[in-house]
Amino acid sequence: IDAVTSKCRLTHKPNSILINYYPPSVDTTTSSKLPFHSDVESEIIANSEIATISIGDVRKVCFKCIHETGNEASTEYVHSVSPESNSVYVMTRSSQAWYRHGIDETGPAETQSSVQTGRFSITLRTVSKQFSRSCIIMGDSNTKPIKFGVGTGTLGQSFPGERVKANKVSAIDPKLCIGYSNVILVCGTNDLRVENVQSPGDIHQLVDILHLKIQQIQKLCPKAKLFVTAVLPSRLPKMNKNIMAFNSLVDEMLYSSFNQTVWHLGVGHFLDGKGLLAMKLTRNGDEIHLGELGIAKFVRCLKQWVYVRERQERVRQRKATRPVGVYPT
């Protein structure tokens, strides 16, 4: 493991080993096929690599595209490798959102139909049970102080992840969400400043951009739980008109287009009696940005939202698997 980590320059040292055996083609009692699949388990660390060591005879590993313009996965190979014995090939975790890989039971004569010996594949991955609750926060400057890890003001050890800058809705990069269990979008404030909104049409266009970004994230990360935080009102009444209009349109868009698969997180408890951002939550009287107290409150809310949705989905899964006609007493 140390040698592979060093020589292949892996970002994380693997801590999981999976060994598969592929018998020779002359052995008709055992399958030598690896069904096409992607390594998308939630425990695999995002931004890590998946390294596979081959020992024995050659098997042709083929790759197929997941996303096609016709909304159907490709049936044709777009790439293939034929790793020799004692060789290593490496895939990124992100590549699993774009390609499936596998080994056909019958293949080209020169690579698979005449093999006389078996092959072992040793797959090395970096996993963590805690990563099944991983979070990526894509947000503007209000999210910059949010820290991951252990200690005051962090999301805590049980919520691993990272914060990525997205100062405007158009800056949201769906590709960076790959590998995370929870995707939290916290942006729109800069788009809604008075100088950036010339007409109501600008707000509608902004909602359309957000709609497209969400579609792209769901396409690349179909298992991720997606949260969109309502834009925090400021202490500027004119700007708040833009914010309230945007939040209302986003709420309608999410309800009509995503059938409750995307949670829209309210921020009413950050407001004072006048509907403005509470002064005590701001940064030294700043009219837009959260201060230390506001960030701590926001972090607590994020953790609560993730936990509640996780719990609800566990309850839903238990109900779905409950035998018909069997009820708790």
Per-10-residue mean pLDDT, the chain, length 329: 95 95 68 84 94 92 82 68 94 94 64 65 94 94 89 79 96 96 96 96 97 96 95 93 96 93 92 92 90 91 92 83 54
Residue 180 half-sphere exposure, CB side, CA atoms within 13 Å? 26
Kindly report the number of other CB atoms within 10 A of residue 34's CB atom. Answer: 17
Biggest CA-to-CA distance, the chain: 79
Angle of CA points 36, 310, 168, to nearest 5°? 85
Q: Side chain identity at 281, as an amino acid letter?
A: L
Query: With the C-alpha atoms ordered 152, 153, 159, 165, is the resulting torsion angle positive or negative?
Result: negative
| Per-residue model confidence (pLDDT) at position 97 | 94
Residues 269, 275, 252, 312, Cα dihedral to 10°: 10
Tokens for 220, please give them: 């690349």
Contacts made by residues 19-22, CB under 8 angstroms, sequence distance 24+: 19/120, 19/121, 19/122, 19/123, 20/120, 20/121, 20/123, 21/118, 21/119, 21/120, 22/56, 22/59, 22/103, 22/118, 22/119, 22/120, 22/121
| Per-residue model confidence (pLDDT) at position 74 | 57
Which residue, chain included where needed, has tokens 């399958």? 31
Kindly report the number of other CB atoms within 10 A of residue 203's CB atom. Answer: 21
Rounded alpha-carbon distances, angstroms, from residue 270 to 190, 198, 291: 18, 27, 12
Nearest to 102 by CA among 41, 24, 34: 34
Look at residue 123 and give its three-state secondary structure. Answer: strand
From CA 105, how far away is CA 159, in angstroms rounded?
Answer: 41
Rounded alpha-carbon distances, angstroms, from residue 326 to 93, 101, 317, 320, 329: 41, 40, 15, 12, 9
Tokens for 114, please give them: 């005449």
From CA 135, how far away is CA 186, in angstroms rounded?
Answer: 13
Helix (H) or strand (E) holding 13: none
| Per-residue model confidence (pLDDT) at position 104 | 79
pTM, rounded to two decimals? 0.87
Q: Give the DSSP letter of residue 268.
A: G
| Per-residue model confidence (pLDDT) at position 111 | 46
From CA 53, how far away is CA 79, in angstroms rounded?
Answer: 19
